[in-house]
């Protein structure tokens, strides 16, 4: 039976890593929590009764570990990308490291869809933790409502409430902020970074390759959120073409938020 656990863990590990990274914003903490998830599951495997799938059980353990890790930490502000950008502009070392990664790393490319997924992860950290976890589990990792209720140890009614509240808040944030889907949006970071990393690449042509941009003139906010989350589903933050850049930027944003809290 431990062989079955190990096989399921290895199959699920990429999703667990991405899920925990989106909760903790720390590559090191993510790797520690996912490793501890396996160790705890291995130790407690005799108590696994099969009421849920092994994948659901592993996500339950990982979610609880992440929740404990984050219990004393404040949620991120919705404008964290603005704070990170402002800090980066006054940090020559960060900018030099960024450009060095772009020049030398096989995962140092810049792609719009990777940046959109990165932005989603940062903004979702402004939600209450239960709302963020529920949104990710349902919309990014395709768990059913009853499975999420098991993972977060709550009722199905509360899972539906968390999901509705999270979707409403995220749709409103992006409708107000994102210039990719709203000409009046406050945030132009995707276009700015494309110009920085890909100066010869035409910004508008790249934007129009994205379904959410094409649909932005006619679709409602919730449908645009669905398209955004579809992109998040497709991006593995550890394996994407721009993974090295995004992990570096995520660590930077985390430092900015923690410094602001002090």
CA torsion angle 222 125 86 206 (round to 10):
-40
Tell me, what's the pLDDT at 184?
79
Tell me, what's the pLDDT at 53?
92
Summarised one tens digit per residue, pLDDT across range 57-114 is: 999 999 999 999 999 888 999 999 999 999 998 899 999 999 999 999 999 999 999 9
Summarised one tens digit per residue, pLDDT across range 16-73 is: 999 999 999 999 999 999 999 999 999 998 888 878 899 999 999 999 999 999 998 8
User: What CATH number does the domain located at 1-73 have?
Assistant: 1.10.1740.10
Q: What is the mean pLDDT of the chain?
A: 93
**Other beta carbons less than 10 A from residue 191's beta carbon:** 17
CA atoms within 13 A on the CB side of 152: 25
Mean pLDDT confidence for 184-207: 89
In 3D, which of 112, 108, 151, 105 has the Cα closest to residue 130?
A: 151
Q: Does position 262 have pLDDT exceeding 70, yes or no? A: no
- Distance between CA atoms of residues 237 and 230, nearest Å: 14
CATH 1.10.1740.10 domain locations along the chain: 1-73
Contact at 8 Å (CB) between 238 and 21?
Answer: yes
pTM to 2 decimal places: 0.94
Give the 3-state DSSP-derived string for 51-108, with helices as H, strands as E and coil as C.
CCCHHHHHHHHHHHHHHHHHCCCCCCCCCHHHHHHHHHHCCHHHHHHHHHHHHHCCCC
């Amino acid at each position: 039976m431990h062989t079955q656990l190990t096989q399921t863990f290895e199959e699920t590990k990429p999703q667990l890593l991405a899920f925990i990274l989106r909760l903790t914003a720390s590559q090191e903490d993510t790797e520690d929590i996912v490793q501890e998830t396996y160790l705890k599951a291995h130790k407690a495997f005799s108590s696994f009764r099969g009421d849920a799938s092994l994948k659901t059980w592993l996500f339950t353990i990982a979610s609880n570990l992440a929740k404990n890790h984050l219990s004393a930490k404040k949620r991120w502000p919705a404008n964290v990308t603005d704070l990170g950008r402002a800090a980066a502009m006054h940090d020559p070392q960060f900018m030099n490291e960024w450009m060095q990664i772009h020049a030398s790393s096989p995962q140092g490319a810049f792609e719009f869809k990777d940046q959109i997924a990165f932005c989603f992860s940062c903004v979702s950290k402004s939600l209450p933790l239960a709302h963020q976890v529920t949104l990710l589990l349902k919309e990014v990792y395709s768990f059913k409502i009853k499975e999420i209720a098991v993972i977060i140890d709550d009722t199905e009614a509360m899972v539906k409430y968390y999901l509705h509240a999270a979707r409403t808040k995220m749709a409103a944030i992006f409708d107000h902020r994102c210039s990719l889907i709203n000409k009046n949006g406050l945030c132009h970071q995707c276009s700015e970074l494309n110009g920085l990393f890909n100066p010869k690449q035409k910004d508008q042509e790249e934007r129009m390759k994205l379904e959410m941009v094409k649909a932005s003139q006619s679709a409602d906010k919730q449908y645009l959120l669905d398209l955004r989350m579809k992109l998040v589903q497709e991006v593995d933050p550890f394996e994407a073409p721009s993974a090295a850049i995004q992990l570096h930027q995520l660590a930077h944003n985390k430092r900015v938020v923690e410094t602001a809290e002090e």
